[in-house]
A and B are shown apart, each in its own frame.
Chain A
Amino acid sequence: MELTPDDVRDVLRVLDSSGLDELHLELADLSLTVRREGAAEWTAEQQVLRAPVLESSSAPVAAGTAPVQTQVGEGLVAVRPPLLGTFYRAPQPGSPPFVDVGDRVDEDTVVGVVETMKMMTPVHAGVRGTVVEFRTGNGEFAEADAVLLVVEPSVGRGGGPAQ
């Protein structure tokens, strides 16, 4: 199924004495390429081809993936995640949300956080205006092009919408 480091070392011993520089193995469940790198060093590129043996009773429940709306209406501005991840509307579970529908925001207002690989990245509004809609709920996963929330830019004295 997989060649252990010991197996690979056995292969290396054979290769070392053979003077060959590269060996390519194709097995039913596995492919392996071992290459000589310089005088005495070797690399291995291993590909486990075996398909996972999934318990039949445990197939994933087909998630009803709602069509993601990535566009917003004319004159409105979409706030998208800085990188894909799980969107949180509040700094801690149970605390009040950063912003809500109807709140005024400016470019630097933190409107949420996105958790990617256990790291938190703040989401800034990036625009001056009023929050009119949340498209991504608290704790929901957001792709990089998802719309988290929608802001209606304010016009006038502030110099108009940023972006």
Chain B
Amino acid sequence: MTRIRRLLIANRGEIAARVVRTCSRLGIESVLAASDADLESLPARLADRVVRLGPAAASASYLDPDAVVQAAVAVGADAVHPGYGFLSENPSLARACAAAGIVFVGPTPESLEAVGDKLKARSHALAAGLPVVPGGEAVDLAGARAVAAEVGYPLLVKAVGGGGGRGMKLVRDPADLAHTLDLAVSEAAAAFGDPRVYLERFVSSGRHVEVQILGDGSTAVALGDRDCSVQRRYQKLFEEAPAPLISDALRAAMAEAALKLAAHLGYRGLGTVELLVDRERDTFYFLEMNARIQVEHPVTEMITGLDLVAEQLAVAEGQPLRIRQEDVVLTGHAVECRINAEDWAHAFRPSPGRIARVVLPVGEGLRVDTHVQGGSVVPPFYDSLLAKLIVHGTDRADALDRARAALDLLRIDGVTTTVPVHRALLADAEFAAGGVDTTFFERFLEAQNLVGVR
């Protein structure tokens, strides 16, 4: 067992500031590995020390495993926290850390490989006894026709190397299968360097619900679920926990499924099992597993009272789980609004620039995770997430009420933000009723444009 005393944070933005906060609380020295664009950032001011990772371009800094390991060795870090995105699920970084005698705060390279490839993840899920969306690999046209006969139409052709909505094509008519398959294979080869595709049943009304798990390699606990169905182009905008309007039986079955997968993998670390809830059939399917901390983890922290980063560090040290399943008590309802530097009035155009002023709501049940303050520069090189407003209420209606009030107080001046989108979203009746599917938000946006509310 390695005691983590000095942690290299190989990430940026709000998650870097978030990890620093837990380090300060636990008395762990935090060293931020920052690109040239981030050397003066708020996380750099909050961390105990800063080490330069490389140039602004992510490919030469946050995405370079060698640069990360060199930085960790240079500062004498005994562990690396990869955050989310970037190298967080990269088995080479996990291996390189192990080779350098440094703890990688994440699952084993084997687990990362098992869930990193969509087809492998699917076969592990099947082996663990999870329901998956009916489908299978399409090696050639004959194989594809055989799979399609089982799956039925409409169906999706998905690139094995794709993700985040990229590399997906809808086929409504059997006559279009051959043509779409050809196109999908060549596009997948060009876009992902991997021509493999598979077919999947198209669920016309699905919700994105996910189960948070934490494992120590031999035992795992489920820490409740989250609903992330409010999405635009597969990017989440709003998340909540627990997922609303789910029957107790379905909720229990989802948690059990996530734990079966964790047990099958002998999973160690924080992980999220993403599920597709089929609203018409009132059932669920395994989608994928994210082997890292998620952007939306704070809603789970709010309703469980846990510090997930602290638990993540503990299991990375080799400690056994400190929480038993029967200790996990979910209290109230929590919601999260992602506030991005984007202009929704112009097709969510990115809005990098200098922040003039940041005023945040404070009080019981309110939390804002951010990496900007007055004077901060939001560089154009990375994603547009500025802040997350997280609100805890006694129930969903209370959380939404408090989120509306908090949004009215929150000010991030100097760049265009998505705060107005959240105001409009929280005023929408269908959304307020709960349980919207993943097609809701695009419909909502169209309606907003029609009535001209901005």
Does chain A bind chain B? yes
The residue on B at minimum CB distance from A11 is B362
By the criterion CB–CB under 8 Å, are B382 and A53 in contact?
A: no
Say yes or no: A52-B44 contact (C-beta < 8 A), given A45-B358, A83-B350: yes
Within 8 A of B (CB), among A37-56: 37, 41-55
Q: Which residues, 15 to 69 on B, are CB-close (under 8 Å) to A?
A: 21, 24-25, 34, 36, 39-42, 44-52, 55-57
**Residues on the A chain within 8 Å of B49, using CB:** 53-55
Q: Is the CB of B50 within 8 A of A117?
A: no
- Of the candidates A2, A58, A85, A117, which one forms a contact with B51 in the assembled complex, judged by CB atoms under 8 Å apart? A58
CB closest chain-B residue, reference A59:
B52
Cβ-based interface call for A24 (8 A): no
In the complex, the answer to whether B45 meets A52 with C-beta atoms within 8 Å is: yes
- Chain A residues 55 to 113 lying within 8 A of chain B, measured CB to CB, are 55, 57-60, 63, 83-86, 92, 94-95
- Nearest-CB distance from B339 to chain A (Å)? 14
Q: Is the CB of B48 within 8 A of A53?
A: yes
Interface centre among A42, A116, A119 (most CB of B within 10 A): A119
Tell whether, in the assembled complex, residue B21 and residue A55 are in contact, meaning their CB atoms are under 8 Å apart: no
A44 and B362: CB pair below 8 A? yes
Contact of A9 among B48, B362, B373 (CB under 8 A): B362
B24 touches A52 (CB 8 A): no
A42→B363 contact, CB < 8 A: yes
Q: Which residues from B are CB-within-8-Å of A4? A: 21, 24-25
Q: Give B370-412 as 1s and 0s: 1 = Cβ < 8 Å from A's Cβ atoms.
A: 0001110000111110000000000000000000010001000
CB pair A119 B350 closer than 8 Å:
yes
Interface size on A, residues (CB 8 A): 43
Distance to closest chain A CB from B6 (angstroms): 12
Interface of B is mostly: mixed
In the assembled complex, A156 has its CB within 8 A of some CB on chain B: no
Decide: B363 and A92 in contact? CB cutoff 8 A. Answer: no
B360 lies within 8 A of A50 (CB):
no
Contacts of A42 in B (CB 8 A): 361-363
Output the least CB separation between A59 and chain B (Å): 7
- Chain B 184-223 residues near chain A, CB threshold 8 A: 190-191
Asked whether B350 lies within 8 Å of A116 as measured between CB atoms, the reply is: yes
Chain A residue numbers with a CB within 8 Å of B120 are none
A85 to B48, CA, bound (A): 31
**How far, in angstroms, from A9 to B34 measured CA to CA in the complex?**
31
B364 contacts chain A at the CB level, 8 A cutoff: yes
Interface size on B, residues (CB 8 A): 52
Bound-state Cα–Cα, A163 to B375, Å: 37
Does chain A have a CB within 8 A of B245? no
A54 and B46 contact, Cβ closer than 8 Å, known pairs A45-B358, A117-B380: no
Which residues of chain B have C-beta atoms less than 8 A from A53's C-beta? 47-50
Between B342, B362, B383, B384, the greatest number of chain A beta carbons within 10 A of the residue's beta carbon is seen for B362
* Nearest CB of A to B192, in Å: 10
Q: Per a CB cutoff under 8 Å, which of B24, B36, B361, B373 touches A46?
A: B373
Q: Given A1-B24, A48-B45, A118-B384, decide whether A55 and B363 contact each other with a Cβ distance below 8 A.
A: no
One digit per residue, 1 when the CB lies within 8 angstroms of any chain A CB and 0 when it does not, for chain B 316-343 equals: 0000000000000000000000000110
Q: When the two chains form their complex, are residues B46 and A118 in contact, meaning their CB atoms are under 8 A apart?
A: no
How far is it, in angstroms, between the C-alpha of A50 and the C-alpha of B20 when the chains are bound? 15
- Among residues 1 to 15 in chain A, which have CB atoms less than 8 Å away from a CB atom of chain B? 1-2, 4-5, 8-9, 12
* Chain B residue at minimum C-beta to C-beta distance from A91: B190
Determine whether B352 belongs to the interface, using a CB cutoff of 8 Å to chain A.
yes
A117: which B residues are within 8 A, CB to CB? Answer: 341-342, 350, 352, 380-384
Q: Report the separation of the CA atoms of residues A139 and B46 in the bound assembly, to the nearest whole angstrom.
A: 32
A132 at the interface (CB under 8 A from B): no
Interchain CA distance A12-B361 in the complex, whole Å: 12
- Asked whether, in the complex, the Cβ of B382 is within 8 Å of the Cβ of A50, the reply is no
In the complex, what's the smallest C-beta–C-beta distance from B295 to chain A, in angstroms?
Answer: 14
A134 interface residue per 8 A CB criterion: no
Please tell me if B359 contacts chain A, counting CB pairs below 8 Å.
Answer: yes
Contact present for B52 and A58 (CB under 8 Å): yes
Q: Are A83 and B362 in contact (CB under 8 A)?
A: no
* Across-interface contacts of A55 in B (CB, < 8 A): 49-52, 74-75
Q: Closest CB of chain A to B254's CB: distance in Å?
A: 30
Starting from the known contacts A47-B373, A52-B50, 11 additional A-B residue pairs (CB-CB under 8 Å) come to A5-B367, A41-B361, A43-B359, A46-B360, A48-B46, A49-B45, A52-B34, A54-B51, A58-B74, A141-B56, A141-B380
Chain A interfacial positions (CB closer than 8 Å to B)? 1-2, 4-5, 8-9, 12, 34, 37, 41-55, 57-60, 63, 83-86, 92, 94-95, 116-119, 121, 139, 141
A-B contacts, 21 of them at CB < 8 A, read A4-B25, A12-B363, A41-B409, A42-B363, A43-B361, A45-B357, A46-B358, A48-B46, A48-B373, A51-B45, A52-B45, A52-B50, A54-B52, A55-B52, A58-B50, A58-B51, A58-B52, A59-B52, A85-B350, A119-B350, A119-B384
